[in-house]
Amino acid sequence: MDTLVAIKTNAVTYVVSVAAAVVVSILTGALLITVVLAAAVSIPLASRTNPGAVIGVIVMVVALFTLWYAFSGAFMLSFTALALYAGAGGQKSTIPETMHEGFVRMKRVVVAGILVVAVALWPLIATIAAGFALYNSGGAAATPWPFLIGIAAIIWLYIALLRYALAPYVALFEPDVPVMKVLSRSKQLMLKGGQWFVVKGIGLIFLVSILLGMVSGSQLRVQSGSSNLVVNVVSIVITILANGSLVLLYRNRKMVRG
């Protein structure tokens, strides 16, 4: 309910911000796919089974994904979060001032997004690349370490995403915090209740997705591409509420943790 109140306070600014962010995400995502496909096609057929070439493509794809995730996420977050944060405090925000502040602070948010992805995802990518190289050298079958390290990297991925969930918001709303310290600041804010709140939110989204799948007859993995109007509307509402909840979580944790 708090999220809906915050949206209502700056409804026009919020809707415009979401629309602009969606357009930017689609365009940059299409550019990313084009670059990846062009790179894949350019690899000679004889080299596509070469471990070095495969690892190189994996690293390039993840690097591009990191940049796209950071940029498109920063665009969405910078504008919508500013409107929501102001609305949560009962303040009106205009489209021009929200856009101006969003562009001014977006560089910090991009860097924060890159840091989160790098810390959370890259250990897993490094493990996959190392395991692939070891497998092709014939040493993977002789040791369980690649599998065990891979499990540890997956566990760390989830821990890191929980621990650093507020890093982009720190970068946006706390310009005095050096951008290289937004991860530690997020960790501080998430201690003693913050991470558990996110876990409960993820669990609720998962439960709603299951119920939605039962009602619509669609599987979880295809709901995002469903042509069912109800599924799409509920998915949009979930996304809006999830983003709003993180803004309000940051606001609450900042008041509680200082």
Give pLDDT tens digits for 20-77: 777 877 777 777 777 777 766 666 665 555 666 666 777 777 777 767 766 777 777 7
Domain assignment present for residue 72? The answer is: yes
Assess whether pLDDT exceeds 70 at residue 17. yes
Average of per-residue pLDDT values in the chain: 74
Domain assignment present for residue 240? The answer is: no
Q: What is the rounded distance in angstroms from the CA atom of residue 250 to the CA atom of residue 130?
A: 37
**What is the identity of the amino acid at 119?**
V
Assess whether pLDDT exceeds 80 at residue 216. no
Q: What is the rounded distance in angstroms from the CA atom of residue 218 to the CA atom of residue 199?
A: 24
Range of the domain at 72: 2-189
Predicted local distance difference test score (pLDDT) of residue 81: 81
Assess whether pLDDT exceeds 50 at residue 223. no
Domain assignment present for residue 255? The answer is: no
Predicted local distance difference test score (pLDDT) of residue 237: 66
Assess whether pLDDT exceeds 70 at residue 218. no
Domain assignment present for residue 153? The answer is: yes
The confidence band for 208, taking pLDDT boundaries of 50, 70 and 90, is: low
Assess whether pLDDT exceeds 80 at residue 238. no
Work out how many domains the chain is built from and give that number: 1
Assess whether pLDDT exceeds 50 at residue 132. yes
- 57: Cβ–Cβ under 8 A, 6 or more apart, which residues? 39, 40, 43
Question: DSSP state, 168?
Answer: H
Q: If you average pLDDT over residues 164-170, what whole number do you get? A: 88
Predicted local distance difference test score (pLDDT) of residue 49: 59
- Taking the CA atoms of residue 93, residue 233, residue 71 and residue 246 in that order, the dihedral angle to the nearest 10 degrees is 60
Q: For residue 67, count other CB atoms closer than 10 A to its CB.
A: 16
Longest Cα separation, the chain: 63
Q: If you average pLDDT over residues 186-207, what whole number do you get? A: 77
pTM of the entire predicted model: 0.70
Assess whether pLDDT exceeds 50 at residue 12. yes
